[in-house]
Structure formats: structure tokens, C-alpha cells
Structure 1
Amino acid sequence: MNMISMPRHAAILLASAALPLYGQAAAAQTGGDAVAAADSEVLDTIVVTAMRRAENLEKIPVSITALTGGTIEKLNIETTEGLSQYTPSLHIYAEAVGSEKYTIRGIGRTSEDLSADPGVAIFLNEVYIPRQAAANLAFFDTERVEVLRGPQGSLYGKNATAGAINIITRQPTEQLSGYGEVAYGSFDRITTKGAISGPIVDGKAYARLAFLTDDRDGMYRNLTTGESANDINTRAVRGTLKITPTDRLTLSLIGDWAKSKQDGVLKSIISDVPGLRYVFFTNNPVTGAPRPGVTPPMQEEKLRTARSAINGRQGVETYGGAFNVTYEASGFDVVAITGVRAEKSYGLEDNGRAQEVTSYNETAQDTWSASQELRLVSSEPNEPGSANRFSWTLGVYAFHEEGSRTTDIYRNVAPFSGIATFTQRINTDALAAFAEAKYRILDNVSLTAGVRYTTEEKALDVTGIARRITGIPAGGPVSPFVNADYTASASKRWNRLTPRAVLDVSLGEGAMMYASVSKGFKSGGFQGQPPAPPLRDFSPEDVMNYELGFKGDLLDRRLQFSAAVFYSDYKNLQLQTFDINGAPTTASASARSKGIEFEITALLAKGFTVNAGASFIDPEYKDYIAQQPGFSDPAHTFDRSGERIGGVPRYNLSLRADYRHSLGDAGDLVFSASAVAVDKVVTEFNTLWANEYAKGDVRLSWESLDGGWIVSGWVKNVTNEMYYRGGGPVAKYDTDKIRLGLISDPRTFGVSVRRSF
């Protein structure tokens, strides 16, 4: 991989992550105080189900990060977007509902077409969530989150070319227990959450009910309308029922509902040249001259302000359920997972950004899906030292999705003059069969082989109507809005075989190495944006991944270390591009991604734990021709072959520390601090998308001796770092000097009180 230059703050963060770990290793060799103080403590063992069976995280030959519910709460991670700062190679940016961008190792999201699928598969309690807007609402009362890096084609199937994210919620307890928490913070943020759990019938039935509310004033101000914008209003509830009729049979029923809405959808105009104005839809695209009656906006003195004529709005509502059945037969378990998911989302955003109404898009989406999986999983242990040498998993899977997305487009500036409404309707059916087996060739050497066969059919219908606005002439090279009605439909079936092979070697003393080869695929689809017909299909995305990894649970379980080096080769990589009308479409390219990632957790002294993580990614196009929005001529066509894939930072570094100090009978003080450093992100056209930054958070908690009370105070973004989490260039003009972006939250404060029983 090419050498990557880092800014000074990132290098310091990486060095500081290594120093405590070096100190721990030195102490181990010299019998120093750090080890002596830690003699009575070890790092927790995290059990995950990433490979569809309960296993120790450090013994799985896969690159995986697992965050427990307690860690998620300490880090104040409220959505999936927050995961990316503490997970190597994961980058998530949620610009608006329905346009979430998830990438792992540089690969992920495509266009906003309803038939275009993500490359990162998200599962809630083992049920696939096809629409990623709904995943952001799952983060409450969480047991753990597992992030698997690299294609997971054999056990997870389609749309996991980049990786998979498993969200596992807390289960009912055998004894009556629960908690309630209220928090207050900057911008009048009030958050409440809690759960109650316990037996309904002793030894047979248990239940859990959890809830979340989250409200915050908007951080943006619309200087045209006087309204605030980008506030938070979230409500969520989840119920879980667990029944154990016999010692061998377990039934679990989980139902959840969540709703989040935001009044005002504003972004900042960010200019590298003072006084440079934003000209998209405010200057004539042919002549470049200002439009009569339109005031081109520019960067405001306060970046969290804007002058849009329309304040905008967006929201999402999701609900669903999972019915899981586990039966422990002789020598294997039978697992059946039935899932139903639904989501409704909407959005209205001003594209023109001017004080006058020039352009806006309004969307409404409604989808639902159902899935069924049946697995047979061997139950006998297959680890070094055990008598059994063979373990296996067999399964079948079925998936169905239906949905619609309606988009209203308004443009009142020539030649982009008109009103258009189009509706997409999707129908997807997929079937798969899979198998995976592990055989211990020698006591410390194992070979795992798996394969999955998937057949999938998609059907897309598009209907629409477009009308000119009376009195506004059309002209120039681009006339997307013609007086016409249109309808189009298409369907296609794809079949894929996705194998996986892993060779792992136990090195003793809790260490292991592995080498793996795996294939994944992402569903094909259709170009569903107007003008239509015809609908053009694009092929499924295929990837082969080669990986070498090392894991260790060392120094008597006081040091955990994992590292991986990978190379991924992509064929028909699906990318968002734009047609001549500026509408997002899907293009294909061949590409490769390579890099390294590592994580370290160390217990330096009794009650003092440090965790560090880092990834360095170098994704590159092998063959790709990009089209700048709004143009189709050779002058605005770019050969990106050999160039870096846009939308992904080169590095992502994180450092966390937790220290617990006993106050005797008065309880404990717990100090937590975290820091992250992220490289700049560029667009597909080598223009800046997000600046590099480093930020830190701190938290101080008092816990009563019995753990029943916790009082916490925290500061997020301690240094008040100003950065923008993502955005894009203005089409056609000064793309290297001006852009839109969502500005980061400033320094914020908060306190919370939690009561557990």
C-alpha cells in the first residue's frame, strides 16, 4: 500500500495509542507495578454470534469489531453513524433520510434508486434491514454491536460485499430488574430511556420492555424564514418475550417501533475563497450569468446558518418483529428466524439554497419486507484440545420486499424549468441455500469451507408526469422537463455462487493466525430515475477478498490484539453518478481496495483499560469513466482509472481510556475519555467532501456501591473542533472552491441520572 502522510494531530494520536501498550508489555517483562496491580483482574471475554454460533471474539478467524452496550453508552453512540468513529475501516455519513452512505474498506452505498441496494448488510436481531435509514433508530437497550469487515457471502448472503453489521438487543432477565435514565444537555436536549425485565411464569416465560425519547432544539438557523432547523425528535419502544417450554426449546418474540423527525433540513455553504457565491440553479448553466430575480447565496459568517427559501423537513418511521425458535437436538441445534420489517420515510429539501424558491425535491418512501431462515448448527465444541474435529452449519433463506418511492421535483429557472412527479415500485424475491464446515486437520490447524447459492429476481415499475412551467422558457443543451407522461417497467433474475475458505492456526498462549479467501455479491438493479423509458439494468457487484490476520488474547488475558491485511478485487462495482439532467444514477466500474487495520485493548492496572484502533485504506479504480452532473460532453467526462475511490478517508484512528477509582463505601468514580482522528474525504471528482479533523470526548460518572445509582456528566467535542461530516461540490461551477456540508456539532455538555434495580 502507498505510504500515507498524516497531519500532526493524527500522528500524535496514533503514537499516544501505542505508548500505554508498550508500557504494559515492559511491565510484564520486569514485574512492574502495572501487572502487579492487575493480578486480580482480566479483560472481559466477549461472546459474539457473528458466525451464526456463540464464540469467543478472539478465536474467530474474521476481522470483526464488537462493542458492548456499556461501551456504546459510555461513548454516547446514538446512531449507527457514531459507530464509524470507533470502528476501523467503517465510514458512515447520513446526509438525509434515504441517502445514508455506509462503507467498509472503501466500498458501500450506491444511488438513491429504489432498486439499488447497499453494500453493507445490517441485521437487527438476525433479521435483515434492507433500508438503512431504519437502522439508525435501533440503538437503545443494546446488548452489543458486531461489525464484520470484508465480504460475508457464505453465511450472510447478498448485499454484504463490504461487510455486515449485527445489532443485538438485550434479552429478558430471569429476575425482576430494570433501569430508568434521564439526561439533559446543550441545546435543551432531553433524553429519557429505560427498561423493565423479569419473569412472567417462573422458569418458563420472561419479558422485557424498553423505551427511548430524545429531543433537541435545532442547531441551524434559517436567516430567510427565521426558523430553527435540524432538530431531533425521536420516540422508540421495544418489547421482547422469551418462552422456554422445555430445557431444549426456546421461543423469542421481539417487536419494535421507532419514529424520528426533523424540522428543517439545512446545510452550510462552505467557500475556500471569501465572497465566492453558490451558483447552482442561481446562474444560467449555459452562459454562467446571474439569473434575474435570484440572489446567489454565499458562505455565512456563522456556518450553522443558511438562507433557504424552504426550511425543509424529513423523518422516518420503522417497525417490525422477529420470531426466533431454537431447538437443541442431539448433536445439533435447529434455528428458525422469521422477520418482518417496514419503514416509511419522507423528505423535503431546498436544492437552490437561495432566498427565492428556485428548486426543491420532495420524497416519500414506503417499503416492507419479510424473511425466513432455517439453520442446522452442530453443537459439539471444535477447538484445540477437544475430541470433536468437525463442526458445520446448513441453512436455507427466503426474502421478499415490496415498496414504493415517490419524488416530486420543482425547478423554476430555465432551462431547468418544470414540475415532475415520478413513482418507483419495487418487488424483490430471493432464495438461498448455504453450508459451511470446519475441520481440524491438526489439533491446532483448522480449515473452514463454506458456500452459498442465491437466486434473486427484481421487478421495477416507474410512472411519471412532467410539465413545463408557463412563462419560463426552455433552452440550452439540457431540457429534462418535457410535457409528457411516461411509464416503464423491467424485471430480471440473477444467480450467484459465493464461496469462502479459511485456514487458521492456533499459536498457543491465546494467539492465532488465519488466511482467508471469500467472495460476495450485491444485487443488480435498474436505472429508475426519469426521463423514462427505457429502464436500463446494471449487473450485480462481485468481489473477491484475500485476507491475512492475527489475533491474540495475551499476558494472562490483560492484552487483546487483532490485525488484518486485506486485498479486495471488485467487478461491476456499483457507484452513484449523474445523468445529463443531474439525476443520480448507478454506474459500474472495476476496482480494488487494499489496506491494514488493527485494534488493541490493554488492562494497564486495576480498573484502568485502554483501547486503540486504526485503519489505513487505499481503494482505487481499475477502470472507470465518471460523468460530471448536468453534462454529457467529452469536456466533462473524466477517466478515473487508477484514481482513488471517493467518499472514503485514508485513515481512521481512535483511542479510548476508562479508569475506575474506588471511594470505598461511597462507591466508585469512573473516568472515560475518547479521541478520534479522521483523514479528509474527497469526492469522485477530487474535490473536497469533508475536511480532516481530530476531536475528543470526556465523561465522569459516580456509581453507588451496589450499582443502583449512576450520575454522569460529559463534554463532547472538548476542543470545539469545527469540521463538516460530508457534503458535495456544486455542480458545474468552482467545484474545487465551494461546497455544501453538514457542520459538526459544537462543544456540548450534558448530565444524566440513572437508577437501576
Structure 2
Amino acid sequence: MSNTIRTWGRTAGALSALLFAGCASQAFAATAAAQASTDANADTAVAPVTVTATREAADMQSVPLAMSAINKQNLEVIASGGDDIRMLSSRVPSLTLESSFGRTFPRPYIRGLGNTDFDLNASQPVSFVYDDVVLENPILKGIPLFDIDQVEVLRGPQGTLFGRNTPAGVLKFDSVKPGKDFGGYASASYASLGTVNAEGAVGGPITDGVLYGRLSGLYQHRNDWITNDFDGKKEAGGYDEYAVRGQLLWTPTSNLSALLNFHHMHLNGSPQIFRANIIQSGTDQIVAGFQRDHIAQDAASRSFQHVNATGGSVNLNYDFGNGMKLTSITAYEHAHTLSHGDIDGGFGAVFAPPSGPGLIPFPSESADGLPKHHQITEEIRLAGDATPQIHYQVGAFYFYESVNINSFDYNTLAGGALDGFAWQHQTTKSWALFGTANYKPTDNLTLTAGLRYTNDQKNFEAAQTLSPIGAPPTGILRANPKSDDVSFNVSADYQITGDISAYARIAKGYRAPSIQGRLLFGSTISVANKETLYSYELGLKSYLFDHRLRANIAAFDYEVDNLQVTAVGGGANFNRLLNAKHAQGYGFEADLEAKPIEHLVLTSGISYNHTELQDPNLTTQICNICHVTDPVSGGLASLNGNPLPNAPQWIASITARYGVPYGDGEFFAFTDWSYRSRVSFFLYQSQEFQSPNRVEGGIRVGYSYKGGKWEAAFFGRNITNDVSLEGAIDFDNLTGFVNDPRTWGVELRTKF
């Protein structure tokens, strides 16, 4: 009880200043409105946002949880340079994404909670839900975004309605659906580095009143723009990617609808570009003379990344006509990938000169692939009104996944000859029953309670058959973790005025056990037990100044038991899973959208996150040449009190769009900026393996004709050409990877 009181006290304290500011602003707005006696109009009123965070359409202001929505227009702008899904990083409060695989395998973090594991079997506490289908494998999460209607970022545990592996939150992507009117769009852009981004969609009625369709497509290309000084060739940094989506909506009666979705993507490009000794020893700075468009690698000519992913779903809805609706979502996903890279980021070795850049203690050239992967999901939900005051949802969910993983090691000094091989196979079965209900005892008060029971079982086996270090084969190693858990959500939402509401929320999230079986350089597998998280949240949602401003703020506090963490690399160059006894996080978030004057639209977000490992017995191996700042004993660093990896304390973003009417259209200018504070890459703290504060900005100027029927624009991404470390490899040298360079481009877009 004392912990709960302390938690709520801290949460309320963090929110009190924000609540005071919001109430003061509302009071000022009411006074200003009375004096001006002018009504809000469509040009200066912030439009309401409809979201599906509750698995049903609702106004975002009525949903009692902290969330952000990125609309289609803003998404198109930040994607104009051909960026992958990592473009969302730091664009909303408490969200970051990074990847050591390049354009695939994004690793998301919400409120500091994520997973640094780079295994193709990695489990993450942030779930991706694409068109109502959960995407579990990290390769599936790299599916490109195109013809997207809206992105929703749900912060905090979502275990009741979205299920397992959502203790940190959910990224929810909804594509544009087939409509009753014929229409579509097409866009094409060309930018620096030979970057091409082309996409389009067309849809409408096929059989009037019964069958509708939509076909969407994307193509992205970038030239190899990085020169390899080892052989003098440009042979890194490029990619070719395409994706298609087809949808058919069948409505044979007014009560029944069936939406069929088929999608496929293909990527052929460079893996993540690792750079040996990029970090200046004893600092967090990149070495002097660094050139982003140059590398020196002896395996770059053999590096590649191939990804194919295919899937489909059938979404059935039947309306019984008395407020009761039945939904069934059946889905299948398949992924295949092979990624081959120069992991040491250099050439040669100290025992095989010449070598460099800097110290190369040993060469490392490896590949990981999914030769076989299948995911099947089924969800059934029944929603309706039990009474005029009570609305409910009940349902069941089933998940099955089978995945094979192959890991290869190559002898670079022998021309890339295979010298190591290991394999993994895992099947996962999970099922759940869930229910939630909303009760309105008064017109102003809504109480919500939800419960979900989940059962998980994994069958895992792995073996190393060829060791790059001369060890004998391991034989088949097995693990069969099982778990079950009950997640819940309880909230109260009170409508203070017609434009201001306050809510309180308590929720529990759950992550199933995880298994790590990377055996190329080891002989054991590791299993992390299930993880549970309790979250406490207070929030305020409001429209101010005659709806010229939407301001949503929240304060939160969470406690994690058995936090799953990954000890990456170290002197033994071996990954293993650990459970930290406890972890804690607290902070606040604010989302703003404003139309202060006609033709000007502003958005802004800010968050503060404090995270802390709490386990006096938790230790991990450390690097051999970096400067570790944690207490070290026997070559092991004590992790107690450390922040979580890749967990910035501060994230801030802002966008501004201003239009000047001219003729039948308008000239416009759009700019967007994101900031994230310092992050540490690993569980232990060191002077080198961290990244300082980072700021990136973009710009877009052009002319839009007749509400966007035609649009021509000039754009820039990372316009200050910021160079920042995005991550590191915990080898015996200071290897890291950086963000993409500045790009300038032009785009032509049409709607019909």
C-alpha cells in the first residue's frame, strides 16, 4: 500500500503543474472569448481526431490513455526522403526507434522500455499492429509505410485489448480503406544520393453498392553512395524496395461486411553500415576527420540484405442491428530474409596486417537469415450495449508462429569462406480471453474496466554445428518455457467541461518468456522469465481558445518486475538474456496542436522519462578498451541504478505549416524538428558507448492547387546534416553506426 501511495503521489505531483497551466489557460481563453465574442470557424479550429485505440472508433479526447496520432499529411512530409519506419523516432512524446539491421528490424522504445537484442527471434515490449493484425517477428515490423491513413502511438500497457508483449505500448498503423467514391493519388520524388520515392493508390466501387477495392503501391531506390576506400568502389548505402497492397471490401447486406487484405514487400539493399573505431576513446564524440560517405571494409563487396514479406487477412463484421457487433480477424504473415555484413567495420586484423581503421583485434563477417517463418492469428470480438449506460467488448485471441533462424560466420581473411554455422527453431502458441466494459453512471463520468487472461507456450531448439573458434558442436539444446498471466486496465474519465476532461488509469502489462539461442560463439542458450509491469497515469485532455488549441498532457509512473534485458557482446562477444529484478520509470508527456491564426498549423510534443534498473545483484560483462563508469568487479559491471538502454530523458518535436492563398491554390512552407537527449547504448555505462543530444530538422515548400489536387514541392531532410551515433557494436574496438546524411529533393503529387 505504501508503494502505491508513493507512486500516485509522485504521478500527481508531476502532473499538478501541468494541470494548473491547463486550467489557467482555459480561464484566460474564456475571458478572451467573452471579450472578443467571435466564434471559432473551420479555418482556425483544430479538427477532432478519430482513433481506434479502443478497437472501436472514438474521439481521441474521450480515450482515457496517453496517445498521439500522426495524420496522413504529416506522415507524407517526413517520409518524402524515402525514409523507413525509423522516421517516426522522436516525432511524438516518449517514442524512439533504432536498428542495427538498417531498413529492416526496427527496435522501438516507449517511455524508455524496449529491447536492444538483434536476434531474429527477439521479443519486444512494444507491439506493432498493422491493419488490426499484430506483427510479432521483428522483420515483419520493418514493413514500409505507404497509403497510410493514420499512425497511433499508444503509450503504457495495452494488455487488455491488444494482449501479450505490450507492456510499453503499441504502434498502430491503419491503411486507407476502400471507399464508395472513385479516387486515389500518385506521387514521385527525386532527391540527393539518387533517391527515388514513388507511390500511389487507386480505389472505388467495383460493383456498385456491393464490392469496393483499393490497390496501393510503393517503390523506393537509393544509389550506393558510400565509397569503400579498401577497394575504391561505391558499394554501400543503396537499396531497392517495393511494396504492394490490395484490398477488397464486400458488403452484400447492410449488416455484413468482409474486408480482404493482401500485401507483399521486397527489399534488396545494404545492411547496416558498421564503422570500426568511429568513437574517440574516452569521449562520446565521433573521431576527427570522419567522413560519412567513406568506409574501409574488406567484406563490403559481399554484404547484402534481402527481405521478402507476404501476408493477408480477412476482417469480417456483422451488425446484429440492436447495438451488437461481431468482428472476426483471420490473418497469415510470412517473412524470409538473409542479411550479410562486415560486422567489425574494418579490414584485416592486428595479426594479419595491414589492418584498420584503428585497432581490429579480429575480423568479423557474418549473416543471419529467416529461411522459414509463418504466423497465424485469429481474433473474435463481440461488442454491444448491455444497458444504455454499459458498453462492452468480449473476445478470444489465438496466435501461432513457427520460425527457423540460420546464423553464419565467414573467414574474411580466407576470402569469405564459411567457418561457422548455427540454427534455431521455435514454435509459439498463445491464446487469450478478454473483456472490457465502459459504465457511465452520469453524463460526465465514464468508468472502464478490462481483464485479459493469456496462456503462452514456446518450444525451442538450437545447435551449433560448425564453430568459428574451433569448439566442438554443441548438440541440440532445448527450452520449453510456459507461462500465463492476467492483465488488466481500470480507468475513470471525467468531463470537467465540454472541452476539458481528466482521467486516471491503472494498468498491468505482460511480456511472455523469451529465449536467446545465438550459438556461433557460445555453447548455451538463455531464457528470460515473464515480465510484468504496473502503470499509474493521470491525464488532462482539452480544447482551449475556442478550439484553436488542443492540449493533452499526462503524468505516469511504472514499475516492472523481472524486466527482460539483453546483455550484448562484451569481452566474450556473446549475447544472453537476463531478468532484472525491478525497474522503474516516471515522467510526463504533452501533445499540442494549434491554429493560432488562419492558414497556420502548429504541432508540438514533449516528454520527460526517468528510468532506472533496480537490482543490486545484476551484472554484465564489459568491453575491454572502453572506459566503464559503473562499479566493476571481476570484469563485471554492476548495473543497479543505471538508466535503461536507448532511453532518452527528453524528447521534443515541433511542426509548423503556413499557407499563403494564391489563385486556386496556395503557396506553403512546412518545417519539422525533433530532439532527443543523451542515450546510452548498453546496460553498463561507459564514456564511449553513448550518443549526445541530437537535433534533426526538415523543410518542405511548394504550391498546392485546389486543395491538393496537384502539388509541387521542394524538400530537405536532416537539413543541418547532423551526424549522430545511432548505435554501437560491443566488440573489442569502438565500432558504431550513424544516421543518414542530409538530402534535398523535389516531389510532384496529384490526387484524383
* Band of TM-score, shorter chain: 0.7 to 0.9
Amino acid at match of 1:43: V
3-state DSSP of counterpart to 1:556: coil
**Could you tell me which residue of structure 1 aligns to residue 355 of structure 2?**
none
3-state DSSP of counterpart to 1:70: helix
**Could you tell me which residue of structure 2 aligns to residue 75 of structure 1?**
78
| Partner Cα distance (2:290, 2:708) in 1 | 47
**Could you tell me which residue of structure 2 aligns to residue 403 of structure 1?**
403
* Residues 534 and 370 (structure 1), Cα distance of their counterparts in 2 relative to 1, 3 Å cut: same
Between 1:696-705 and 1:449-458, the stretch displaced more is 696-705
**Could you tell me which residue of structure 1 aligns to residue 619 of structure 2?**
626
Shift of 1:670: 2.2
On the 8 A contact 1:195/1:210 being kept in 2, the answer is: yes
| Partner Cα distance (1:34, 1:680) in 2 | 47
Alignment of 1:275-314 (within 5 A): 301-311=290-300, 312-314=303-305
Alignment of 1:369-388 (within 5 A): 369-378=375-384, 388=388
Q: 1:91 aligns with which of 89, 96, 108?
A: 96
3-state DSSP of counterpart to 1:85: coil
* Residues 692 and 630 (structure 1), Cα distance of their counterparts in 2 relative to 1, 3 Å cut: closer
* Residues 270 and 597 (structure 1), Cα distance of their counterparts in 2 relative to 1, 3 Å cut: farther
5+ unaligned residues in a row in structure 1: which ranges? Answer: 2-17, 279-296, 381-386, 469-479
| Partner Cα distance (1:750, 1:542) in 2 | 46
Does the alignment pair 1:182 with 2:188?
A: yes
Amino acid at match of 2:365: Y
**Could you tell me which residue of structure 1 aligns to residue 32 of structure 2?**
29
**Could you tell me which residue of structure 2 aligns to residue 10 of structure 1?**
none
| Partner Cα distance (1:81, 1:32) in 2 | 46
| Partner Cα distance (1:220, 1:685) in 2 | 32
Shift of 1:303: 3.4
On the 8 A contact 2:210/2:250 being kept in 1, the answer is: yes
Shift of 1:462: 0.6
Cα shift readout 1:167-200 (whole Å, capped 9, x = no counterpart): 1000112122122211111111112111111111
**Structure 1 length normalisation: TM-score?**
0.86
On the 8 A contact 1:268/1:305 being kept in 2, the answer is: no
| Partner Cα distance (1:487, 1:260) in 2 | 33
Does the alignment pair 1:197 with 2:203?
A: yes
Amino acid at match of 2:428: T
| Partner Cα distance (1:678, 1:177) in 2 | 39
3-state DSSP of counterpart to 1:642: coil
Cα shift readout 1:693-715 (whole Å, capped 9, x = no counterpart): 22221111311126321111112
Amino acid at match of 2:196: I
Amino acid at match of 1:525: S
3-state DSSP of counterpart to 1:187: helix
Between 1:260-269 and 1:647-656, the stretch displaced more is 260-269
**Could you tell me which residue of structure 1 aligns to residue 578 of structure 2?**
587
**Could you tell me which residue of structure 2 aligns to residue 641 of structure 1?**
640
Does the alignment pair 1:679 with 2:677?
A: yes
On the 8 A contact 1:403/1:426 being kept in 2, the answer is: yes
Between 1:435-444 and 1:50-59, the stretch displaced more is 435-444
| Partner Cα distance (1:410, 1:298) in 2 | 29
* Residues 671 and 59 (structure 1), Cα distance of their counterparts in 2 relative to 1, 3 Å cut: same
| Partner Cα distance (1:160, 1:538) in 2 | 16
Shift of 1:649: 1.2
| Partner Cα distance (2:34, 2:704) in 1 | 32
3-state DSSP of counterpart to 2:595: strand
| Partner Cα distance (1:83, 1:120) in 2 | 14
* Paired residues, number: 694
On the 8 A contact 1:420/1:481 being kept in 2, the answer is: no
Q: 2:366 aligns with which of 361, 366, 373?
A: 361
**Could you tell me which residue of structure 2 aligns to residue 538 of structure 1?**
528
3-state DSSP of counterpart to 1:641: coil
Shift of 1:593: 1.0
| Partner Cα distance (1:493, 1:350) in 2 | 37
5+ unaligned residues in a row in structure 2: which ranges? Answer: 1-5, 7-20, 350-362, 625-631
| Partner Cα distance (1:678, 1:426) in 2 | 36
Between 1:105-114 and 1:240-249, the stretch displaced more is 105-114
| Partner Cα distance (1:467, 1:536) in 2 | 19
* Residues 695 and 460 (structure 1), Cα distance of their counterparts in 2 relative to 1, 3 Å cut: same
| Partner Cα distance (1:219, 1:459) in 2 | 43
Give the share of equivalent positions with the same residue, in percent: 24
3-state DSSP of counterpart to 2:76: helix
On the 8 A contact 2:526/2:576 being kept in 1, the answer is: no
Shift of 1:80: 2.4
Amino acid at match of 1:206: Y
Alignment of 1:258-273 (within 5 A): 258-263=265-270, 265-269=272-276, 271=278, 273=280
* Residues 707 and 467 (structure 1), Cα distance of their counterparts in 2 relative to 1, 3 Å cut: closer
3-state DSSP of counterpart to 1:111: coil
Alignment of 1:693-712 (within 5 A): 693-705=694-706, 707-712=708-713
Does the alignment pair 1:601 with 2:626?
A: no
**Could you tell me which residue of structure 1 aligns to residue 353 of structure 2?**
none
Cα shift readout 1:591-630 (whole Å, capped 9, x = no counterpart): 1111111111111112211111011111100116231257
* Residues 361 and 50 (structure 1), Cα distance of their counterparts in 2 relative to 1, 3 Å cut: same
Shift of 1:489: 1.9
Amino acid at match of 2:604: A
* Residues 689 and 220 (structure 1), Cα distance of their counterparts in 2 relative to 1, 3 Å cut: farther
On the 8 A contact 2:728/2:736 being kept in 1, the answer is: yes
Shift of 1:150: 0.5
Shift of 1:332: 1.1
Amino acid at match of 1:679: S
| Partner Cα distance (1:692, 1:639) in 2 | 25
Shift of 1:266: 2.1
**Could you tell me which residue of structure 2 aligns to residue 455 of structure 1?**
455
Q: 1:747 aligns with which of 725, 742, 748?
A: 742
Amino acid at match of 1:553: Y
**Could you tell me which residue of structure 1 aligns to residue 9 of structure 2?**
none
Shift of 1:486: 1.9
Amino acid at match of 2:153: V
| Partner Cα distance (1:626, 1:223) in 2 | 40
| Partner Cα distance (1:630, 1:245) in 2 | 64
RMSD over aligned CA atoms reads 3.0
On the 8 A contact 1:190/1:214 being kept in 2, the answer is: yes
On the 8 A contact 1:419/1:481 being kept in 2, the answer is: no
| Partner Cα distance (2:307, 2:298) in 1 | 23
**Could you tell me which residue of structure 2 aligns to residue 101 of structure 1?**
107
On the 8 A contact 2:292/2:741 being kept in 1, the answer is: no
Shift of 1:577: 0.4
Amino acid at match of 1:550: L
| Partner Cα distance (2:287, 2:714) in 1 | 38
Cα shift readout 1:197-230 (whole Å, capped 9, x = no counterpart): 1111101110000101010113422111323312
3-state DSSP of counterpart to 2:496: strand
3-state DSSP of counterpart to 2:74: helix
Does the alignment pair 1:49 with 2:42?
A: no
**Could you tell me which residue of structure 2 aligns to residue 731 of structure 1?**
731
Shift of 1:536: 4.1
| Partner Cα distance (2:562, 2:399) in 1 | 23
Does the alignment pair 1:495 with 2:495?
A: no
Alignment of 1:653-668 (within 5 A): 653-665=652-664, 667-668=665-666
**Structure 2 length normalisation: TM-score?**
0.87
Does the alignment pair 1:507 with 2:496?
A: yes
| Partner Cα distance (1:24, 1:231) in 2 | 55
**Could you tell me which residue of structure 1 aligns to residue 627 of structure 2?**
none
3-state DSSP of counterpart to 1:508: coil
3-state DSSP of counterpart to 2:441: strand
Amino acid at match of 1:713: F
**Could you tell me which residue of structure 2 aligns to residue 434 of structure 1?**
434
Amino acid at match of 1:493: K
* Residues 30 and 447 (structure 1), Cα distance of their counterparts in 2 relative to 1, 3 Å cut: closer
Amino acid at match of 1:108: G
| Partner Cα distance (1:221, 1:129) in 2 | 36
On the 8 A contact 1:28/1:35 being kept in 2, the answer is: no
Q: 2:177 aligns with which of 161, 171, 179?
A: 171
Shift of 1:660: 2.2
